Structure 1
Amino acid sequence: MKFLTKLFKRNSSWDLPKISIVIPCFNAEKEILATLKSIQDSHYQNVDVMVIDDGSEQRAEHFVQSFNDPRFRYFYKENEGPGLTRNFGIDNALGEYIFFLDSDDLIYPDALSNLMDYALAHQLDCVSGVTVRRDINTGVEGEWFRRLYQTKKVNLLVNRLALYDDTLTTNKLYRVEALKQHDIYFETGLYEDKLFTAKLYSKLDRIGLIDNRVYIWLVYGNQTSITTSKSLSNFQERMVAIEKLWQYIPEVRKAYQIAFYMNHDLLIYLREFVFYPQAVKDEIYETAKEFIQKHYHYVYPRLVPASFNRACLDALCEGDKDKFIYTADILSQVFQDEQKTKQRI
């Protein structure tokens, strides 16, 4: 099949629908240069680039202006967080479609073309592609839930189960009117992506999945990204988001969601457990216990195969604090030892 965007390009790339690229920016004036350059290198030219400065102390306006690109628009607003900043982008987009890009990440040159090709070919309100996590220091790459993106296909609501694992909003092209029509907006707080994608998956009947790499998520380290921070406050914010998204998850998914919680949401904190003071360990236990016991009838232990992780789940179900903390400490120490070994190799 010939790609639609290539066919359009024979006349003019401007014949294609306009895509608004929304870039929330907060004190990221240096990183945003590479981000904007990746947009200029894009094969897809009909874009409306919205750099929305979310109350930065060091404004990025002069960096945006340095590109001298009439497609780039700069906004400055009071600090509200990335979610509400993206909402500002939805409400002020000039494009028929919208794409969210973080100010310290990149897109592949053919990303927007590949997403739009599939959206137009199948008349879709949303198309999602492969995200690559790249360590900025080592260059090591890994693909985010590649198993969901083995082939190009249209995912239907009636068989939507595994797709909930992909909680990213930045690897997707959306039709703006569909977001407005279904009231799919971001909410306040951290981990707003989890709730946004849960709404998206529960409200759109057809979502396109393509096997192309579209997004480069640059990992800078523990202190520069909300998603890699392991503090108690971030754990609590994550729990708030998880509780909110529960209403959007279909019943058939909820057993898997508990497993995802143990295998991902909670696990990233358990891996750091040996570094926490006792009070933080106690708080993590109490919060996780309340969540697991509240949704106990969805617990299916066989979905959590790892031995130490499974033992932690058993302890939460039993309400055994000593067992949980003892096992979590072992899990954490084993993980930290493995990381040290990898660094020496």
Structure 2
Amino acid sequence: MSFLNKLFQKIPQIGQSPLISILVPCYNSRATLPATLKSIQASHYTNLDVMIVDDGHAVTVEDIVKEFNDPRFRYFYKNNEGLGLTRNFGIHNAKGEYIFFLDSDDLIFPDALGKLLAYAERHQLDCVSGVTVRRDFETGVESEWFRSLYKSPKISTFANRLSQFDDTLSTNKLYKVQMLKDLGIYFETGLYEDKLFTAKLYSKLERIGLIDTRVYVWLIYGSQTSITTTKSVSNFQGRMAAINNLWQYIPELRKAYQIAFYMNHDLLIYLREFVFYNEDEKEEIFQTAYHFIQQHKRYIYTRLVTASYNRACLDALIVGDKAKFMYTAQILSQIFQDELKIKQQV
């Protein structure tokens, strides 16, 4: 095959480029939306249908969208329904063959859409996923989200997909709109709707492409480290509800690793803040975690939980030893907070 023929296979033909819809949900987004829209305008792939959906906030972003004066941008205002149902609104109103979800406080890389689309078209895939970069807004420090899943381009199937359940993000993927509708893959209401959405996707779609390209910038803002936001007890309850809802979609062989991921990641997020909770909040965390562990006890393999304090907390949850759990969580939290203070002083 000639070089030109190979090139034409990789690059969509002029006049035949599929339309990609981008859904940008907004709620109190005036400060961050301009940078998000600028990252869209910087995209090398330009055949776009951009839906900016205001989810019922009193202070709208309509004037910001108008200032961009981009004919590809469509502005919508609707009653407040939350992030999940706003994304569903995007699925139903997309003009494109494909859809991409971009939060109004994040960014995309310039070559993201072109690379995702090229792989989807070349391999006739209904979904392609790329690398997410977590970037601290203030310091610029970056880390890649589950980079080990994206070492090289490949096609994930039911037979080799167990590890992909670690990547619960919906925003680093390009989807065929009709596929989502045909398979009934929509977002639910509530916190952590990504977890359930991607679990449905992984359990229903036979072939998913993975590319070793950085496609999405997940910006971490200072307020996101506050005890009053992502690490509140109500947020923990929302996370637990999402985990319980997605359990039915997780393959049996994956469930032991899911329990370990819960101890090593999900619960750990809140244990690190344990010193800041009051007694009622600590009790709520223990009871919620205890009932979850008891419900799924047969999937527990303690050797998968390697950190000593995490392991001690798991042991306490298994036998229902509240005093040991409280004591261990308090020590774990104090050590983490002391180390955090040292890092901040450097």
Q: TM-score normalized by structure 2?
A: 0.96
Q: Deviations over 1:190-231 (max 9, x none)?
A: 100000000000000011001100000111124589996100
Structure 1 residues 76 and 3, CA, compared in 2 at 3 Å: closer, same or farther?
A: farther
Q: Which position in structure 2 is the counterpart of 1:327?
A: 328
Amino acid paired to 1:300: Y
Preserved CA contact (<8 Å) 2:229 2:235: no
Q: Which position in structure 1 is the counterpart of 2:115?
A: 114
Matched, 1:186 2:187: yes
Q: Which position in structure 2 is the counterpart of 1:144?
A: 145
Structure 1 residues 3 and 199, CA, compared in 2 at 3 Å: closer, same or farther?
A: farther
SS at match of 2:22: strand
Structure 1 residues 306 and 155, CA, compared in 2 at 3 Å: closer, same or farther?
A: same
- State how far apart, in whole Å, the 2-side matches of 1:101 and 1:238 are: 21
% identical equivalent positions: 69
Q: Which position in structure 1 is the counterpart of 2:168?
A: 167
Preserved CA contact (<8 Å) 2:11 2:118: no
Q: Which position in structure 1 is the counterpart of 2:253?
A: 252
Q: Which position in structure 2 is the counterpart of 1:199?
A: 200
Preserved CA contact (<8 Å) 2:109 2:215: yes
Q: 1:15 deviation in Å?
A: 2.2
Q: 1:7 deviation in Å?
A: 3.4
Amino acid paired to 1:181: D
Matched, 1:281 2:282: yes
- State how far apart, in whole Å, the 2-side matches of 1:5 and 1:59 are: 42
Q: Which position in structure 1 is the counterpart of 2:103?
A: 102
SS at match of 1:286: helix
Which 5+ residue runs of structure 1 have no aligned equivalent? none
Amino acid paired to 2:181: K
Q: 1:125 deviation in Å?
A: 0.6
Q: Deviations over 1:6-29 (max 9, x none)?
A: 633xx63x5211000000000101
Q: Which position in structure 2 is the counterpart of 1:88?
A: 89
In the comparison of the two structures, how many residue pairs are matched? 342
Q: Which position in structure 2 is the counterpart of 1:131?
A: 132
Preserved CA contact (<8 Å) 1:52 1:75: yes
Matched, 1:56 2:60: no
- State how far apart, in whole Å, the 2-side matches of 1:24 and 1:224 are: 22
SS at match of 1:15: coil
Structure 1 residues 189 and 3, CA, compared in 2 at 3 Å: closer, same or farther?
A: farther
- State how far apart, in whole Å, the 2-side matches of 1:250 and 1:159 are: 11
- State how far apart, in whole Å, the 2-side matches of 1:6 and 1:203 are: 27
Matched, 1:261 2:265: no
SS at match of 1:266: helix
Preserved CA contact (<8 Å) 1:133 1:217: yes
- State how far apart, in whole Å, the 2-side matches of 1:4 and 1:259 are: 45
Please give the root-mean-square deviation of Cα atoms over the aligned residues, in Å. Answer: 1.7
Q: Which position in structure 1 is the counterpart of 2:11?
A: 7
Preserved CA contact (<8 Å) 1:219 1:225: no
Q: Which position in structure 2 is the counterpart of 1:303?
A: 304
Which 5+ residue runs of structure 2 have no aligned equivalent? none
Preserved CA contact (<8 Å) 1:133 1:142: yes
- 207-216 vs 226-235, greater mean Cα deviation: 226-235
Preserved CA contact (<8 Å) 2:9 2:122: no
Preserved CA contact (<8 Å) 2:134 2:143: yes
Structure 1 residues 139 and 227, CA, compared in 2 at 3 Å: closer, same or farther?
A: farther
Q: Which position in structure 2 is the counterpart of 1:37?
A: 38
Preserved CA contact (<8 Å) 1:167 1:194: yes
